[in-house]
Amino acid sequence: MLKLYTKNPAEYNGDLLVYCIGQPTKGLPVCPHDMVKSMLTRAVASKDFLAKEGQTMLVYPEPVRGAKKTVGRVLLVGLGQEISRETYRKAGGIIAQAAIKVKAAKILMVLPEAKDLSVDDLAECLAEGVILGAYQFRKYKSQEKDPDDEPVMLKEIAVSAETDQAAARRGLKRGQIAAQAVCQARDMANEPANFWNPTHFAEFGRKLASLYGLKVRVLGMVEMKRLKMGGLLGVNQGSAQPPTMTILEYRCGRKAPVLLLVGKGLTFDSGGISLKPGSGMHEMKFDMCGGAAVLAVMQAVAEERPKGLDVIAIVPATENMPGPAALKPGDIITQYGGKTVEVENTDAEGRLILADALAYGVSLYKPAAVVDLATLTGAVIVGLGHHRTGLMSNNDSLAEQMLASGEKCAEPLWRLPLGSDYSKQLKSTIADLKNLGSRSAGAITAAAFLQEFVGETPWAHLDIAGTAWDFTEKSYVPKGPSGVGVRTLLELIRTFKTPA
Ligand code: BES
Ligand code: ZN
Ligand code: ZN
């Protein structure tokens, strides 16, 4: 999709030519393209375009007499004065949306001079922004009656770099791998629950494995019974769809630490017998966004093939439905590993399926660290809104790595505490644990429940209930599922250090 363009941008004859323009602290913004120079001067004079962040200007340059046919449209995108990695992602998103609006399928972006950032960073972030900003999910839309109304997809994105071509190529590749994985996660989440069921997670895992040579294992009901995974089996009891546990292994080929990723793959959460209210229940098809992120990141891992790290992904998947055999409040189940749990509320189901996956993964793979992603609690939305993912961890070094990775990707996290005061709330009078704390601190007591199943292994839990969809909207993050977590996990993998 993305490629480096090595000719002179002035000779480009695709649909749209794009320049990103910084706002100088002194003097006027400039564009190197001769045909738009005078127009830019007039736009600046009239203060219509000052190259502030987010400003755009579309021009239709006068063709030069006798010259070869060149591009018909030029887009100028303002970057503002303080330029960061995020500036380029946002600019990329704006470019994608502008291109879609004018139905430009072939575009060329000219990389600006790298002043505040490296060429690597600039190319990476622009690539991420443009691919993510161009994301659309149209699978279920019929064709428009008038072909002119039919939206155009961005087909070819070329990038021209004046200076360090090798760095630009590296950055573009990194950005493209990350963004395509995010789009994959968004696609899975956008699918309705009557299509994307637990079996689909397994199929996707198998497809990735055969495409990239990863190892895949899918546990079905028979294996789950043999392994005594009472959490996943219990939650599944009320559903007509069989559960799956999809396990993907990337091995770097030498002796290396294992990073274990676990994602909640609840393909529809009705609440079960503790039924959710009707309004908004349709959004609970997104309760599989943690699982989607974890499998999507394996696609990126398989493409990048990190050297000193093995990465294993586990996605426990089921629906949570109130069928005749469903779990009832008060039922007691036995999780993988033998701990018993009194189910006080069948809507607190995520922790039950994650507990099996975490305990199984930790005992089988002996990971150096485990990270789980889950749309786990409404409480995290009360606390942090739709702007930050909740982070809870039993290990400071891992928590720091998570915070730094999130920050770098503009997927910010906020750490919440754990501790015995919270864990105590999960004591049951008749079983080892119950699946519900008191009314307050719901995001933390949910994490405290998971903590019981990872032992001493360094572990980080990301509660993405507020960010998996309805995440802070910006040019490259649409309404609907955001694919949050994919880029943060990929950054963690790219920079991972075994936690002390
Ligand atoms: N999937 C939900 C959490 C959720 C709520 C995600 C809203 C996104 C938006 C989870 O399974 C759930 O129902 N949690 C309950 C827990 C409660 C019963 C302790 C909740 O948050 O209300
Ligand atoms: Zn629930
Ligand atoms: Zn749920």
> Strand order in 433-434's β-sheet?
332-334, 340-342, 433-434
Instruction: State whether the beta carbon of 377 lies less than 6 angstroms from ligand 1.
Output: yes
Ligand located closest to 272 CA? 2
Tens of pLDDT along the chain (500 residues) come to: 899 999 999 889 999 999 999 999 998 999 988 888 889 999 999 999 999 999 999 999 887 777 777 898 999 999 999 999 999 999 999 999 999 999 999 999 999 887 889 999 999 999 999 999 999 999 999 999 998 888 888 999 999 998 899 999 999 999 999 999 999 999 999 999 999 999 999 999 999 999 999 999 999 999 999 999 999 999 999 999 999 999 999 999 999 999 999 999 999 999 999 999 999 999 999 999 999 999 999 999 999 999 999 999 999 999 999 999 999 999 999 999 999 999 999 999 999 999 999 999 999 999 999 999 999 999 999 999 999 999 999 999 999 999 999 999 999 999 999 999 999 999 999 999 999 999 999 999 999 999 999 999 999 999 999 999 999 999 999 999 999 999 999 999 999 999 99
Q: Which residues of 107-134 are buried (b: 16+ CB within 10 A; e: fewer)?
A: bbbbbbebeebebbbbbbbbbbbbbbbb
- 466: nearest Cα among 391, 386, 406, 410: 386
For a ligand 1 pocket test, name from 270, 376, 381, 438 the mutation site with the most ligand atoms within 8 angstroms of its C-beta. Answer: 376
Instruction: State whether the beta carbon of 441 lies less than 6 angstroms from ligand 1.
Output: no
The residue type of 237 is: Q
Distance separating alpha carbons of residues 263 and 290, to the nearest angstrom: 4
Instruction: State whether the beta carbon of 345 lies less than 6 angstroms from ligand 1.
Output: yes
The residue type of 482 is: S
Using DSSP's 3-state secondary structure scheme, residue 159 falls into strand
H or E segment at 350?
helix 350-365
Using an 8 Å Cβ cutoff, are 371 and 489 in contact? Answer: yes
pLDDT at 291: 99
Q: Tell me the catalytic residues.
A: 276, 351
Phi-psi region of 228 (alpha: psi -120 to 50; beta: other; left: phi over 0): left
Distance separating alpha carbons of residues 213 and 209, to the nearest angstrom: 5
Using DSSP's 3-state secondary structure scheme, residue 158 falls into strand
- 134: nearest Cα among 151, 152, 150, 154: 154
pLDDT at 458: 99
For a ligand 1 pocket test, name from 377, 426, 463 the mutation site with the most ligand atoms within 8 angstroms of its C-beta. Answer: 377
Using an 8 Å Cβ cutoff, are 315 and 197 in contact? Answer: no
The alpha carbon of 71 and the centre of ligand 3 are apart by a number of angstroms equal to: 50
Which residues lie across from 462 on neighbouring strands?
373, 391
pLDDT at 35: 82
Distance separating alpha carbons of residues 440 and 296, to the nearest angstrom: 33
Using an 8 Å Cβ cutoff, are 309 and 496 in contact? Answer: yes
pLDDT at 66: 75
Distance separating alpha carbons of residues 401 and 150, to the nearest angstrom: 44
Atom of ligand 1 nearest to the CA of 379: 21
Instruction: State whether the beta carbon of 290 lies less than 6 angstroms from ligand 1.
Output: no
pLDDT at 191: 98
Task: List residues, by chain if needed, whose CB lies under 5 Å from ion ligand 2.
Answer: 269, 347, 349
Atom of ligand 1 nearest to the CA of 345: 18
The alpha carbon of 375 and the centre of ligand 3 are apart by a number of angstroms equal to: 6
What are the phi and psi torsion angles at 482 (to 5°)?
-95, -20
Tokens matching residue 36: 């738009």
Instruction: State whether the beta carbon of 265 lies less than 6 angstroms from ligand 1.
Output: no
Distance separating alpha carbons of residues 145 and 156, to the nearest angstrom: 26
Is pTM beyond 0.85? Reply is: yes
Using an 8 Å Cβ cutoff, are 388 and 412 in contact? Answer: yes
User: Exposed/middle/buried for 488, CB within 10 Å: 0-12, 13-18, 19+?
Assistant: buried
Tokens matching residue 258: 């294992």
Q: Which residues of 413-424 are buried (b: 16+ CB within 10 A; e: fewer)?
A: bebbebeeebbe
Distance separating alpha carbons of residues 304 and 298, to the nearest angstrom: 10
Name the residue with the closest Cα to ligand 1, atom 3.
377
Q: Which residues of 54-68 are buried (b: 16+ CB within 10 A; e: fewer)?
A: ebebebebeeeeeee
pLDDT at 116: 82
Count of CB atoms situated within 10 Å of the CB of 439: 8
pLDDT at 393: 99
The alpha carbon of 427 and the centre of ligand 3 are apart by a number of angstroms equal to: 21
Tokens matching residue 105: 């399928």
Ligand located closest to 437 CA? 1
pLDDT at 356: 99
Instruction: State whether the beta carbon of 379 lies less than 6 angstroms from ligand 1.
Output: yes
